[in-house]
Amino acid sequence: MQLTDARPNYGRIDFEGLPNTRDLGGLPAVDGRRVRRGRLLRSGTLYFAAAADRRRLMGDYRLRAVVDLRGDDELAEYPDGMELMPAVRYVHADALKGTVAGISQNAEARARLEAARVDDDDPARFMEMVYPHILLGESGIAAYRALLRCVLETTDGAVLWHCHFGRDRCGMGSMLVEAALGVPTEAVEEDYLATNRFNPDPADERTDANLRFIRAAVAAVTREFGGVMGYVREALGVTDADVAELRGRYLEDA
């Protein structure tokens, strides 16, 4: 059950080809305010967008920027087709470049990761171990710094960020944007889990959004930076003035 009816169907936009594109608008935020509608969008790859979907993004949402969190191999296979939206700024910010392959300098840790990858007794354990590295790896820090900077620099219209389906890398990016806006933890987790509702593939315990995954990431940045906002400030370089700017632009009275 949703925490609030201010964001019907978890913000999902009924596009033809994009099953998991969602508007953060309506989420509860700091000081009793809510996230402004039509400005912050999370999604899967735009490769699957129908022509009508692109027209709606450009017209109804005044899309100004796309942040693509995927790797070069994914871009080659499923390009976003930005030539069809030439007025939209495109930012490629690979959140996993080299991260999983080189997840630790320690051979013992690498062996544990490989064991987790094929652990049938706990199929979710691999992703639980990977999630902290999405945020703490050098590529992840650079990617999410680029995402927050793009959100700050887009002064009108919408910003959309995505990975392949809009779950893991996109989910972490959404968590960071939401944290900067003062969205409470329960609502952040609910938004993260909502991706499972819109996945057309069969349920898969190894990959479905799972509270173990997001909480492992939060625990990791809490150990390193004292919390998610500590990570946003220290690792991503978002200042108090930036936070005030984000909240002034993207929040509205409830």
Q: How far apart are CA 175 and CA 214, in angstroms?
A: 9
Share of the chain above pLDDT 90, in %: 85
Are the beta carbons of 170 and 163 closer than 8 angstroms? yes
Residue 64, by phi and psi: left (phi above 0), alpha (psi -120 to 50) or beta?
alpha
The pLDDT tens digits of the residues spanning 102-121 come to 443 344 444 555 555 656 68
Q: How far apart are CA 79 and CA 95, in angstroms?
A: 16
CA separation, residue 42 to residues 15, 25, 39, 141, 234 (Å): 13, 11, 10, 19, 24
Are the beta carbons of 182 and 199 closer than 8 angstroms? no
What's the mean per-residue pLDDT of the chain? Answer: 92
Domain 20-253 has CATH 3.30.1700.10: no
The pLDDT tens digits of the residues spanning 204-241 come to 998 899 999 999 999 999 999 999 999 999 999 999 99
This prediction has a pTM of 0.92
The pLDDT tens digits of the residues spanning 161-206 come to 999 999 999 999 999 999 999 999 999 999 999 999 999 889 999 8
Give pLDDT, residue 107.
Answer: 47
Q: Which of 72-81, 100-109, 148-157, 205-214 has the lowest average pLDDT?
A: 100-109
